[in-house]
Amino acid sequence: MKLHNFLILTFLSATSFELISDEYSDVLSNKDLACYDNYTINTNGGMSISPDGRYLLVRNTVKNNVCDIEPDKVKGIEDESGDWGLLLVDLDTMETTMLSDGSESKGIRSAGWLNSTRIWFTPRYKVGQDMDSFVMFAMNIDGTRRTTIRESGYYQGIYDKDYDDPNHVYVMTNERRPAILDYYKMNIYTGKKTRIALGPNISNMKGKAMLGDLMDPETKMPMMMLIDDGIDRIIYEYDQSKKEWSEHFKYKCQEPGYYPLGLYNDKVVVSGSKFSPLGEVLEENDTNAIYLYDMKTREFSDKLYQDDVYDVGGLTGSCRTTGGSGVSVKGNSSLQYIRYTSHQPEYLFFDQGAEQTYIALKQIFPDDFVSVIGSDVSAKVMLVKVSSSNNPGAIYIVDLNKETDPINLLAEISPWIDRSKLAETIPVTYTARDGLEIPAYLTLTTKKTDRNYFVILPHGGPNVKQRIGFDRWVQFFAKEGINVLQPDYRGSTGYGFNHYTAGNLQWGKKMQDDLTDGVLWAIENGYADKDRVCIAGASYGGYATMAGLVFTPELYRCGINSVGVTDQEQLLQNFARNASRFQSWDKEPLLEWGDLSTPEGKEYAKEISPILYVKNIQAPVLVLHGSNDYVVPVNHARDLISELKSLGKEYDSMFQAYDGHCVVSCGEQANLEYLDKQKEFLDKYMFN
């Protein structure tokens, strides 16, 4: 049954696995990979279930979910992709009600539930519209009692609800001070707010950020907050009786610390190392371990859990976020599970019911990664996303109250892509020359080829962990007949303190050795022919591409440098000042990437900058860069090309005038042109 003209979704039995889209293409094309899915489906933000589980709210574009490249690079994507409408689905009767048709004057930017019969929403803002479109409204699902609950000009977000009091929610807002959030109880019918707590009195928030916080499940007041202040990590606690904040604990980046993930049995669940009540380190952990922590006595429980290889949430090395998080039961803030990443999504359960549900879902979708992206209060009605390296994803609605057909398909992500044409990625490890184990992901082409063509694809960052799932750039190489290796080289996060800090000041050195050793491992194990190896990457991966070409020129047949750093001194010049304009991580790179304020730092920058060693390059290089790149300015590419040209080196290039720091996440036409240019380059230099 088609739900509505602008909602390209069909409810089907999970056992039938019918396709929503038209016939798949026989051949995976660059166009397939360049196209964007309807944004709200792709980002999981377009669907939510009412607290009582009866209704589904869907925010989706009026554009059909098909692959149609927008040729106008100024637009990037189709105009209609921004015209989001809003649909209400009664899950008992399957009747639908259009709350907004997505037209220019009625488009929706975001929406969600206040209680089971009332929603909030913000209008879609477009250039030229009145700034009042930044306001937030509330209305009943029948369209009545529309009220303004946030004026324009400040942030306001819902952080908790009291399901015994359906007339109020709890919000954080910076209405009083731009950089500090305060806490209020708000009437969802009138928008009236009553302040229950002030945020901490922190002066000069430039270069600082809130990394996490916890709320009291009874009073809804804040309990603690973790602030990133330079290389310091400061935990503040809130005294509800005195209505005062004070510093509870402080530690530094790349020193032992801990991170609050949630509440369980009236204790704080923390991830990190263990301390005495006086702040002395009792257990210094490489990978983050899980403890229960009593804020009043400052005592830690015995270690509840530790993964020997991976950080279970928190901050890698007390510094960089791992991407793991705690998920709580709606209505009481009790932790259900901690989600973290190994070579796949992992779950540490605190709630037996949630664990049983997850096991049942995994039995239904054994070959996919399964995540619950929304549910009702009872957690019986859920939105479930399944995906994998060779499946862009699908979203199902699961109703455990139903005895028959409890699982129904809502939508496929990028339905034009034939899943059977995609290559699977598997986890592997290899040993670097100094004995460090390097985790990596290996994708083997399904195309029959005359030899083992190979690309090593280092990730950007560099101090991040690769994400699990569908990767369009990897699939591009695989469809061309190329095996791909993606190492989590030293300096990557998520693998503990030692793996992360081993990357300190190792750009172009041991970090690059890890990539070289990955290539040698691939050759030794038959995944790569030694004379058919290419290196490619974006951002830091683009730097690693150039470092590979200048420091180990005999290893590579070609290189693809996308938005890559070529001059370390240019990158770090005034880096802290520039970074602080928009984010807090201004001091960490001084430990990780180098410090130009010291003679040693200046010398290091000269040693590792590829721009100074272009004369060593033997292989042709493709340079891709966006003219509007404000992360790695386009001068890195232009200076490189000038040097390549002056030295008579073989190269090709492409610049995108309307795009920035991207290679397969730019505008659709730019994506396609980048992919086509790479295919042309590989056909000329890899396969011949």
Q: Do 320 and 286 belong to one domain?
A: yes
Under a CB-based contact definition with an 8 Å cutoff, are residues 551 and 613 in contact? yes
Q: What gap in Å lies between CA 562 and CA 637, rounded to an integer? A: 9
Mean of per-residue pLDDT scores for the chain: 89
pLDDT at 129 over 60: no
Residue 601 lies in a domain: no
Q: Do 265 and 134 belong to one domain?
A: no
Lowest mean pLDDT among 123-132, 197-206, 400-409, 456-465: 123-132
Q: What gap in Å lies between CA 426 and CA 47, rounded to an integer? A: 31
Q: Do 109 and 135 belong to one domain?
A: yes
Q: Do 436 and 475 belong to one domain?
A: yes
Q: Do 133 and 6 belong to one domain?
A: yes
- Spell out the SS3 assignment of 573-634: CCHHHHHCCCCCCCCHHHHHCCCCCCHHHHHHHHHHCHHHHHHHCCCCEEEEEECCCCCCCC
Residue 195 lies in a domain: no
Compare 13 and 63 and report the one with higher pLDDT: 63
| Domain final residue pick, 419, 448, 483 | 419
Residue 30 lies in a domain: yes
Q: Do 275 and 396 belong to one domain?
A: no
Structure confidence at residue 302 as a pLDDT band (50, 70, 90): very high
Strands 335-341 and 345-349: antiparallel
Q: Do 319 and 407 belong to one domain?
A: no
- Closest to 610 in 3D by CA, of 575, 637, 578, 574: 637
Q: What is the pLDDT of residues 560-614, one digit of tens each?
A: 999 999 999 999 886 655 544 445 567 899 999 999 989 999 999 999 999 999 9
Q: Which helix (H) or strand (E) holds 475?
A: helix 472-479
Residue 460 lies in a domain: yes
% of the chain surpassing 90 pLDDT: 73
Residue 245 lies in a domain: no
pLDDT at 581: 40
Q: Which helix (H) or strand (E) holds 545?
A: helix 540-551
pLDDT at 210: 82
pTM of this structure: 0.92
Lowest mean pLDDT among 58-62, 385-389, 629-633, 674-678: 58-62
Residue 501 is part of a domain; what is its CATH number?
3.40.50.1820
Q: Do 526 and 457 belong to one domain?
A: yes
Region of residue 127 (phi > 0: left; psi between -120 and 50: alpha; otherwise: beta) = beta
Q: What gap in Å lies between CA 252 and CA 317, rounded to an integer? A: 9
Structure confidence at residue 42 as a pLDDT band (50, 70, 90): low
**Which residue is it, tokens 């798949």?**
24
Instruction: At 131, list the tokens.
Output: 């700034």
pLDDT at 206 over 80: no
% of the chain surpassing 70 pLDDT: 91
**Mean pLDDT, range 117-143, rounded to an integer:** 78
pLDDT at 461: 93
| Domain final residue pick, 358, 385, 419 | 419
Structure confidence at residue 105 as a pLDDT band (50, 70, 90): confident
**Mean pLDDT, range 385-392, rounded to an integer:** 94
Q: What gap in Å lies between CA 311 and CA 315, rounded to an integer? A: 8
* HSE-up (13 A, CA, CB side) for residue 246: 8
pLDDT at 494 over 60: yes
Under a CB-based contact definition with an 8 Å cutoff, are residues 445 and 483 in contact? yes
pLDDT at 212: 85
Distances 216 to 196, 267, 270, 277 between C-alpha atoms, Å: 12, 11, 16, 22
Compare 132 and 319 and report the one with higher pLDDT: 319
pLDDT at 63: 79
pLDDT at 331: 57
pLDDT at 405: 86
Lowest mean pLDDT among 126-135, 241-250, 467-476: 126-135
pLDDT at 88 over 70: yes
Residue 645 lies in a domain: yes
Q: Do 364 and 438 belong to one domain?
A: no
Q: Do 391 and 429 belong to one domain?
A: no
Residue 582 lies in a domain: no
pLDDT at 45 over 70: no
The percent of the chain in helix, strand and coil, each rounded to the nearest 5, is 20, 35, 45
Residue 312 lies in a domain: yes
CA angle 49, 54, 58 (to 5 degrees): 40
Q: Do 542 and 678 belong to one domain?
A: yes
For the chain, the domain total comes to 3
pLDDT at 470 over 70: yes
Q: Where are the beta strands (DSSP E) in 162-319?
A: 168-177, 180-187, 193-197, 208-215, 222-229, 232-239, 244-252, 258-264, 267-272, 274-275, 281-283, 289-294, 299-300, 305-306, 315-316
Backbone angles phi, psi at 355, to 5 degrees: -65, -45
Domain that holds residue 320: 253-329+331-372
- Closest to 395 in 3D by CA, of 68, 11, 7: 11
pLDDT at 3: 32
Q: Do 517 and 402 belong to one domain?
A: no
